[in-house]
Amino acid sequence: MIHIACNIDSNYVCHCAVTLVSLFENNREETFSVHILERGLSAAEQQTLTDLAARYGNRAFFYEPMPEMLAGFTIRKFSKRISMATYYRCILSELLPRDIDRLLYLDCDIVVLGDIRPFWNTPLDGIGVAAVEDIGSTDAPRYEVLKYPMEEGYFNAGVLLINLEYWRKHDVARACIEYFHQYPERIVYNDQDLLNSILYKHKVFVDLRWNVQDAFYRIPKPQDAEAWRAKYGACLKHPVILHYTNRKPWDYDSQHPLRNEYFRYLDLTPWKGQRALNNPLNRIKRFFRLLPFYIHLRKPKYIRMTDL
Protein backbone atom coordinates (compact mmCIF):
# COMPACT_ATOMS: atom_id res chain seq x y z
CA MET A 1 0.00 0.00 0.00
CA ILE A 2 1.29 3.43 -0.99
CA HIS A 3 -0.18 6.39 0.87
CA ILE A 4 -0.59 9.60 -1.14
CA ALA A 5 -1.61 13.00 0.22
CA CYS A 6 -2.87 16.08 -1.62
CA ASN A 7 -4.33 19.29 -0.28
CA ILE A 8 -6.89 21.24 -2.29
CA ASP A 9 -9.89 23.50 -2.28
CA SER A 10 -12.72 23.54 -4.83
CA ASN A 11 -10.58 25.41 -7.34
CA TYR A 12 -8.26 22.42 -7.67
CA VAL A 13 -10.60 19.42 -7.81
CA CYS A 14 -10.11 19.02 -11.56
CA HIS A 15 -6.32 19.35 -11.28
CA CYS A 16 -6.25 16.88 -8.41
CA ALA A 17 -8.13 14.44 -10.61
CA VAL A 18 -5.48 14.82 -13.32
CA THR A 19 -2.65 14.22 -10.85
CA LEU A 20 -4.35 11.10 -9.49
CA VAL A 21 -5.24 9.65 -12.89
CA SER A 22 -1.67 10.10 -14.11
CA LEU A 23 -0.41 8.38 -10.95
CA PHE A 24 -2.84 5.47 -11.26
CA GLU A 25 -2.34 5.01 -15.00
CA ASN A 26 1.42 4.73 -14.69
CA ASN A 27 1.46 2.62 -11.52
CA ARG A 28 -1.17 -0.01 -12.21
CA GLU A 29 0.63 -2.67 -10.17
CA GLU A 30 0.35 -0.57 -7.02
CA THR A 31 -2.49 -0.04 -4.57
CA PHE A 32 -3.02 3.49 -3.29
CA SER A 33 -4.78 5.15 -0.41
CA VAL A 34 -5.25 8.82 -1.26
CA HIS A 35 -5.60 11.22 1.67
CA ILE A 36 -7.08 14.51 0.51
CA LEU A 37 -6.79 17.46 2.85
CA GLU A 38 -9.52 19.76 1.67
CA ARG A 39 -11.16 23.05 2.36
CA GLY A 40 -14.84 23.34 1.59
CA LEU A 41 -15.28 20.56 -0.97
CA SER A 42 -18.89 19.69 -1.70
CA ALA A 43 -20.20 16.15 -1.35
CA ALA A 44 -20.37 15.95 -5.15
CA GLU A 45 -16.74 17.00 -5.52
CA GLN A 46 -15.64 14.43 -2.96
CA GLN A 47 -17.67 11.77 -4.75
CA THR A 48 -16.03 12.58 -8.07
CA LEU A 49 -12.57 11.96 -6.63
CA THR A 50 -13.77 8.88 -4.73
CA ASP A 51 -15.20 7.39 -7.92
CA LEU A 52 -12.03 8.21 -9.83
CA ALA A 53 -9.88 6.33 -7.31
CA ALA A 54 -12.30 3.42 -7.19
CA ARG A 55 -12.10 3.02 -10.97
CA TYR A 56 -8.48 1.94 -10.44
CA GLY A 57 -9.15 -0.13 -7.32
CA ASN A 58 -7.90 2.58 -4.96
CA ARG A 59 -9.53 4.51 -2.12
CA ALA A 60 -9.84 8.19 -1.28
CA PHE A 61 -10.22 9.66 2.20
CA PHE A 62 -11.04 13.27 3.05
CA TYR A 63 -9.94 15.47 5.92
CA GLU A 64 -10.98 19.05 6.61
CA PRO A 65 -8.75 20.58 9.29
CA MET A 66 -10.33 22.85 11.86
CA PRO A 67 -9.59 26.49 10.97
CA GLU A 68 -8.19 27.19 14.42
CA MET A 69 -5.32 24.79 13.75
CA LEU A 70 -3.83 27.46 11.49
CA ALA A 71 -5.04 30.53 13.36
CA GLY A 72 -2.93 33.57 12.57
CA PHE A 73 -1.35 32.07 9.43
CA THR A 74 -1.21 34.24 6.32
CA ILE A 75 -0.45 33.76 2.63
CA ARG A 76 2.49 35.71 1.24
CA LYS A 77 3.76 34.83 -2.24
CA PHE A 78 1.29 34.01 -5.03
CA SER A 79 -1.72 34.85 -2.89
CA LYS A 80 -4.08 34.97 -5.91
CA ARG A 81 -3.38 31.35 -6.73
CA ILE A 82 -2.71 29.75 -3.35
CA SER A 83 -5.17 29.41 -0.50
CA MET A 84 -4.65 28.68 3.19
CA ALA A 85 -4.97 25.01 2.27
CA THR A 86 -1.30 25.13 1.26
CA TYR A 87 -0.32 25.02 4.94
CA TYR A 88 -2.18 21.78 5.57
CA ARG A 89 0.88 19.78 4.57
CA CYS A 90 2.67 21.22 7.60
CA ILE A 91 0.23 19.47 9.93
CA LEU A 92 -0.16 16.17 8.08
CA SER A 93 1.10 14.18 11.06
CA GLU A 94 -1.77 15.54 13.16
CA LEU A 95 -4.46 14.76 10.62
CA LEU A 96 -3.74 11.31 9.24
CA PRO A 97 -4.25 7.97 11.02
CA ARG A 98 -1.36 7.09 13.30
CA ASP A 99 -0.77 3.72 11.69
CA ILE A 100 0.53 5.47 8.56
CA ASP A 101 4.26 5.96 8.99
CA ARG A 102 5.27 6.96 5.43
CA LEU A 103 3.49 9.28 3.01
CA LEU A 104 4.08 10.72 -0.46
CA TYR A 105 2.73 14.26 -0.68
CA LEU A 106 1.97 15.61 -4.18
CA ASP A 107 0.89 19.07 -5.22
CA CYS A 108 -1.96 19.10 -7.72
CA ASP A 109 -0.14 20.93 -10.49
CA ILE A 110 1.68 17.67 -11.20
CA VAL A 111 1.47 14.75 -13.58
CA VAL A 112 3.14 11.45 -12.75
CA LEU A 113 4.66 9.85 -15.82
CA GLY A 114 6.35 6.74 -14.46
CA ASP A 115 6.95 4.22 -11.69
CA ILE A 116 7.14 5.87 -8.27
CA ARG A 117 8.03 2.70 -6.33
CA PRO A 118 11.81 3.46 -6.34
CA PHE A 119 11.12 6.88 -4.82
CA TRP A 120 8.67 5.40 -2.30
CA ASN A 121 11.40 2.98 -1.16
CA THR A 122 13.89 5.77 -0.37
CA PRO A 123 15.43 5.12 3.09
CA LEU A 124 14.13 7.62 5.65
CA ASP A 125 15.92 6.43 8.78
CA GLY A 126 16.40 9.34 11.16
CA ILE A 127 15.21 12.03 8.75
CA GLY A 128 11.93 13.85 8.28
CA VAL A 129 11.63 14.16 4.53
CA ALA A 130 13.11 13.24 1.14
CA ALA A 131 12.72 15.92 -1.52
CA VAL A 132 14.23 17.55 -4.60
CA GLU A 133 16.19 20.78 -4.45
CA ASP A 134 14.15 23.80 -5.41
CA ILE A 135 15.16 25.71 -8.52
CA GLY A 136 15.73 28.72 -6.22
CA SER A 137 18.09 26.87 -3.89
CA THR A 138 21.08 28.90 -5.13
CA ASP A 139 19.41 32.19 -4.16
CA ALA A 140 21.63 33.43 -1.32
CA PRO A 141 19.22 36.11 0.00
CA ARG A 142 16.66 33.38 0.72
CA TYR A 143 18.97 31.89 3.35
CA GLU A 144 19.61 35.30 4.84
CA VAL A 145 15.87 35.64 5.42
CA LEU A 146 15.43 32.10 6.76
CA LYS A 147 18.53 32.31 9.00
CA TYR A 148 20.16 29.00 8.22
CA PRO A 149 23.34 28.14 6.26
CA MET A 150 23.15 28.04 2.47
CA GLU A 151 25.15 24.79 2.37
CA GLU A 152 22.13 23.03 3.90
CA GLY A 153 20.16 23.64 0.71
CA TYR A 154 16.47 24.32 0.14
CA PHE A 155 13.89 21.83 -1.11
CA ASN A 156 10.75 22.23 -3.17
CA ALA A 157 7.72 21.31 -1.07
CA GLY A 158 5.51 20.23 -3.97
CA VAL A 159 6.74 16.62 -3.79
CA LEU A 160 7.63 15.27 -0.37
CA LEU A 161 8.30 11.75 0.82
CA ILE A 162 7.44 12.18 4.48
CA ASN A 163 8.54 10.10 7.45
CA LEU A 164 5.39 10.52 9.54
CA GLU A 165 6.88 8.51 12.38
CA TYR A 166 9.68 11.08 12.62
CA TRP A 167 7.20 13.96 12.36
CA ARG A 168 5.19 12.61 15.28
CA LYS A 169 8.21 11.84 17.41
CA HIS A 170 9.62 15.34 16.91
CA ASP A 171 6.22 17.08 16.74
CA VAL A 172 6.94 18.77 13.41
CA ALA A 173 3.38 20.11 13.18
CA ARG A 174 3.71 21.96 16.48
CA ALA A 175 7.19 23.18 15.51
CA CYS A 176 5.79 24.65 12.27
CA ILE A 177 2.98 26.44 14.09
CA GLU A 178 5.29 27.87 16.74
CA TYR A 179 7.91 28.92 14.21
CA PHE A 180 5.36 30.76 12.09
CA HIS A 181 4.04 32.70 15.06
CA GLN A 182 7.55 33.51 16.28
CA TYR A 183 9.07 34.49 12.91
CA PRO A 184 6.24 35.43 10.51
CA GLU A 185 8.50 37.90 8.70
CA ARG A 186 10.77 35.06 7.55
CA ILE A 187 8.01 33.10 5.82
CA VAL A 188 7.79 34.42 2.26
CA TYR A 189 7.18 31.25 0.25
CA ASN A 190 4.47 30.05 2.61
CA ASP A 191 4.62 26.42 3.75
CA GLN A 192 7.76 25.77 1.69
CA ASP A 193 9.78 28.27 3.71
CA LEU A 194 8.24 26.95 6.90
CA LEU A 195 9.09 23.30 6.23
CA ASN A 196 12.62 24.15 5.13
CA SER A 197 13.14 26.17 8.30
CA ILE A 198 12.09 23.24 10.47
CA LEU A 199 13.61 20.35 8.50
CA TYR A 200 16.75 21.74 6.83
CA LYS A 201 18.97 19.50 8.98
CA HIS A 202 16.63 16.52 8.79
CA LYS A 203 16.11 15.89 5.08
CA VAL A 204 17.74 14.08 2.18
CA PHE A 205 17.86 15.30 -1.39
CA VAL A 206 16.80 12.89 -4.13
CA ASP A 207 17.19 12.85 -7.90
CA LEU A 208 15.61 15.60 -9.97
CA ARG A 209 13.38 13.12 -11.82
CA TRP A 210 11.14 12.95 -8.75
CA ASN A 211 10.16 16.62 -9.06
CA VAL A 212 11.03 18.17 -12.42
CA GLN A 213 10.12 21.81 -11.99
CA ASP A 214 9.14 24.32 -14.64
CA ALA A 215 12.30 26.42 -14.49
CA PHE A 216 14.53 23.48 -15.35
CA TYR A 217 13.01 23.69 -18.83
CA ARG A 218 14.07 27.31 -19.25
CA ILE A 219 16.82 28.03 -21.78
CA PRO A 220 20.19 28.18 -20.01
CA LYS A 221 22.84 30.80 -20.66
CA PRO A 222 24.99 29.88 -23.68
CA GLN A 223 28.09 29.37 -21.53
CA ASP A 224 26.15 26.96 -19.30
CA ALA A 225 24.38 24.99 -22.03
CA GLU A 226 26.73 22.01 -22.27
CA ALA A 227 26.96 21.46 -18.51
CA TRP A 228 23.21 22.00 -18.17
CA ARG A 229 22.44 19.40 -20.86
CA ALA A 230 24.77 16.87 -19.25
CA LYS A 231 23.26 17.41 -15.82
CA TYR A 232 19.57 17.70 -16.65
CA GLY A 233 19.02 16.34 -20.15
CA ALA A 234 17.93 12.79 -19.28
CA CYS A 235 15.58 13.90 -16.48
CA LEU A 236 13.99 16.62 -18.56
CA LYS A 237 13.40 14.26 -21.44
CA HIS A 238 11.95 11.50 -19.26
CA PRO A 239 10.59 13.01 -16.02
CA VAL A 240 8.83 10.70 -13.59
CA ILE A 241 7.09 13.49 -11.66
CA LEU A 242 6.50 16.59 -13.78
CA HIS A 243 5.72 19.68 -11.72
CA TYR A 244 4.24 22.77 -13.39
CA THR A 245 5.58 25.25 -10.84
CA ASN A 246 5.11 28.43 -12.86
CA ARG A 247 2.50 29.02 -15.57
CA LYS A 248 0.05 26.15 -15.48
CA PRO A 249 -0.76 24.08 -18.56
CA TRP A 250 -4.42 25.03 -18.20
CA ASP A 251 -3.51 28.75 -18.46
CA TYR A 252 -4.26 30.13 -21.92
CA ASP A 253 -0.69 31.43 -22.34
CA SER A 254 1.28 28.41 -21.09
CA GLN A 255 4.46 27.76 -23.09
CA HIS A 256 5.71 24.75 -21.13
CA PRO A 257 7.13 22.24 -23.67
CA LEU A 258 5.35 19.36 -21.92
CA ARG A 259 2.04 21.10 -21.25
CA ASN A 260 0.17 18.54 -23.34
CA GLU A 261 1.01 15.80 -20.85
CA TYR A 262 -1.52 17.46 -18.54
CA PHE A 263 -4.27 17.29 -21.18
CA ARG A 264 -3.51 13.66 -21.97
CA TYR A 265 -4.59 12.77 -18.44
CA LEU A 266 -7.30 15.43 -18.20
CA ASP A 267 -9.07 13.56 -20.98
CA LEU A 268 -9.27 10.51 -18.71
CA THR A 269 -11.28 12.47 -16.13
CA PRO A 270 -14.84 13.89 -16.11
CA TRP A 271 -13.32 17.12 -17.46
CA LYS A 272 -12.41 15.50 -20.79
CA GLY A 273 -12.05 18.00 -23.62
CA GLN A 274 -11.94 21.12 -21.44
CA ARG A 275 -9.33 23.63 -22.65
CA ALA A 276 -8.84 27.33 -22.03
CA LEU A 277 -8.39 27.71 -25.78
CA ASN A 278 -11.90 26.42 -26.44
CA ASN A 279 -12.84 30.02 -25.69
CA PRO A 280 -12.19 32.18 -28.80
CA LEU A 281 -11.34 35.15 -26.60
CA ASN A 282 -8.55 33.17 -24.95
CA ARG A 283 -7.22 32.23 -28.39
CA ILE A 284 -7.01 35.91 -29.27
CA LYS A 285 -5.39 36.74 -25.94
CA ARG A 286 -2.84 33.95 -26.42
CA PHE A 287 -1.97 35.19 -29.90
CA PHE A 288 -1.23 38.72 -28.73
CA ARG A 289 0.50 37.55 -25.54
CA LEU A 290 2.89 35.35 -27.52
CA LEU A 291 3.20 37.57 -30.60
CA PRO A 292 6.56 39.06 -29.46
CA PHE A 293 7.96 35.53 -29.39
CA TYR A 294 6.52 34.66 -32.81
CA ILE A 295 8.14 37.66 -34.49
CA HIS A 296 11.39 37.34 -32.49
CA LEU A 297 11.07 40.55 -30.50
CA ARG A 298 11.50 38.37 -27.42
CA LYS A 299 13.72 35.37 -27.00
CA PRO A 300 12.09 31.99 -26.29
CA LYS A 301 11.80 31.12 -22.61
CA TYR A 302 11.79 27.36 -22.89
CA ILE A 303 14.04 24.78 -24.46
CA ARG A 304 12.94 22.71 -27.40
CA MET A 305 12.65 19.05 -26.46
CA THR A 306 14.46 18.14 -29.66
CA ASP A 307 17.53 19.97 -28.30
CA LEU A 308 17.94 17.56 -25.39
- The tens digit of pLDDT for each residue in 8-54 reads 988 999 999 999 999 999 999 999 999 999 888 999 999 999 999 99
Q: Is 264 left (phi over 0), alpha (psi -120 to 50) or beta?
A: alpha
Q: Which contiguous run of DSSP H or E holds residue 43?
A: helix 43-55
Residue 82: predicted pLDDT: 62
The whole-number pLDDT of residue 225 equals 83
> What local confidence, expressed as pLDDT, does residue 288 receive?
96
What is the reported pTM? 0.94
Angle between helical axes of 43-55 and 13-25 (0-180°, round to 10): 10
Residue ranges, the chain, pLDDT below 50? none
Please answer whether residues 8 and 260 qualify as being in contact, where contact means their C-beta atoms are separated by less than 8 angstroms: no
CA pair distance 162, 130, nearest whole angstrom = 7
Count other Cβ atoms within 10 Å, centred on residue 142: 18
* Domain harbouring 255, CATH code: 3.90.550.10
What pLDDT, on the 0 to 100 scale, is given for residue 83?
A: 65
Structural domains counted in the chain: 1
Q: What's the pLDDT at 230? A: 85
Question: How many other C-beta atoms are found inside a 10 Å radius of the C-beta of residue 36?
Answer: 25
pLDDT in tens, 200-220: 999 999 999 999 999 999 998
CA-closest candidate to residue 7, choices 101, 84, 115: 84
Q: What range defines the domain where residue 83 resides? A: 1-308
